[in-house]
């Protein structure tokens, strides 16, 4: 369901009686209408999570005042996303461009309603892709000196700070990021890993999947954390393979899954359908 003309309220708090009724009454009291609502209670951690789409002639000042009272009452974390603004997105990639190219095509076709403010890459190959789509390009390599890695990481961090995006998408950006970057963009940086995590984390997962003789391969889109390939999972996709498939076949099939899985994760994030707790996600798809 498209949410372009709807406000979206997301919230999470310790599970307790009265949350749903209190929030619904507040929305009604300020002139709002609940167009759609979904909720989940995690029994193990006693956490309540909810996503509500709101339309109508809402008195937003009164709503925010009332919401502050509910936040205090229920020890609630909440976010209100008003319609009318487009998210600013940075795509980061290295020499493999297929995920970045797919996202740019989806943007040009109107499938993703965002402004791509730049392609940032540690390799010059992405410059031509950026030019084809009329997107600014930032090269963030570290040169050939002994401290090239530190310089490259600093250049990447500086580019993100300058561009100030709402979301950073690592579309096959083949660098392990330092903790200071992952913390800075916590919950606002999505990575695609070419494996159905937690299986085959790290490098060359298709080679290891082939050696293991798997019958399914997949891809995982997740929020980036300091621990490599271990952030909260947003979306996963799979495709069947057989004993006849060589590594090259797994790579070809896997790339198709990576494209669709990453695009799906970006859409879910942009529509505020993902709530995170305890390194887990609740996805209101």
DSSP-H helix ranges across the chain: 19-29, 60-74, 98-108, 126-132, 148-163, 179-184, 205-212, 247-270
Q: In the prediction, which pLDDT does 197 show?
A: 60
Residue 137 · residue 131 · CB < 8 Å: yes
Report percent pLDDT > 70 for the chain.
93
Q: In the prediction, which pLDDT does 198 show?
A: 57
What is the per-residue pLDDT across 49-106, written as a single tens digit (0 to 9) for each? 999 999 999 999 999 999 999 999 999 999 999 988 889 999 999 999 999 999 999 9
Output phi, psi for 164, to 5 deg.
Answer: 50, 60
Residue 157 · residue 126 · CB < 8 Å: no
Whether the bond into 124 is cis, omega within 30 of 0: no
What is the per-residue pLDDT across 231-245, written as a single tens digit (0 to 9) for each? 999 999 999 888 888
Q: In the prediction, which pLDDT does 1 show?
A: 45
Instruction: Please state the domain extents for the chain.
Output: 7-81, 87-283
Distance CA 274, CA 281 (A): 6
Q: pTM above the 0.85 mark?
A: yes
Determine the average pLDDT of the residues in 142-147.
Answer: 68
DSSP letter at 145 equals S
List the beta bridge partners of residue 128: none
Distance CA 278, CA 285 (A): 20
Catalytic residue IDs: 229
Distance CA 203, CA 149 (A): 18
Provide the CATH topology of domain 7-81. Answer: Alpha-Beta Plaits (3.30.70)
Provide the CATH topology of domain 87-283. Answer: Rossmann fold (3.40.50)
Report the relative pairing of strands 47-55 and 77-81 from DSSP bridges.
unpaired
Distance CA 159, CA 17 (A): 46
Joined tokens for residue 41: 């209670």
């Amino acid at each position: 369901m498209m949410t372009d003309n709807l406000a979206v309220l997301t919230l999470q708090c310790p599970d307790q009686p009265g949350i749903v009724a209190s929030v619904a009454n507040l929305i009604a009291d300020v002139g709002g209408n609940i167009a759609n609502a979904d909720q989940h209670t995690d029994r193990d951690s006693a956490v309540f999570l909810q996503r509500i789409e709101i339309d109508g002639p809402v008195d937003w000042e009164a709503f925010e005042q009332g919401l502050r009272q509910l936040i205090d009452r229920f020890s609630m974390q909440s976010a209100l996303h008003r319609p009318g603004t487009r998210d600013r997105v940075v795509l980061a990639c290295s020499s493999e461009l297929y995920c970045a190219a797919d996202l740019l095509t989806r943007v040009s076709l109107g499938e993703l309603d965002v402004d791509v403010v730049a392609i940032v890459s540690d390799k010059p190959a992405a410059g031509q892709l950026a030019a084809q789509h009329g997107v600014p390009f930032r090269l963030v390599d570290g040169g050939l000196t002994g401290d090239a890695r530190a310089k490259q990481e600093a250049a990447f961090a500086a580019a993100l700070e300058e561009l100030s995006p709402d979301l950073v998408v690592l579309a096959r950006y083949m660098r392990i990021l330092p903790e200071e970057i992952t913390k800075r963009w916590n919950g606002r940086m999505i990575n695609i890993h070419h494996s159905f995590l937690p299986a085959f984390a790290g490098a060359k997962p298709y080679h290891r999947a082939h050696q293991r003789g798997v019958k399914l391969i997949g891809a995982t889109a997740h929020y980036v954390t300091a621990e490599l390939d271990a952030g909260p999972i947003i979306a996963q996709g799979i495709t069947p393979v057989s004993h006849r498939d060589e590594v090259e076949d797994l790579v070809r099939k896997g790339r198709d899954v990576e494209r669709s899985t990453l695009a799906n994760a970006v859409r879910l994030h942009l529509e505020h359908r993902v709530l995170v707790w305890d390194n887990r996600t609740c996805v209101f798809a």
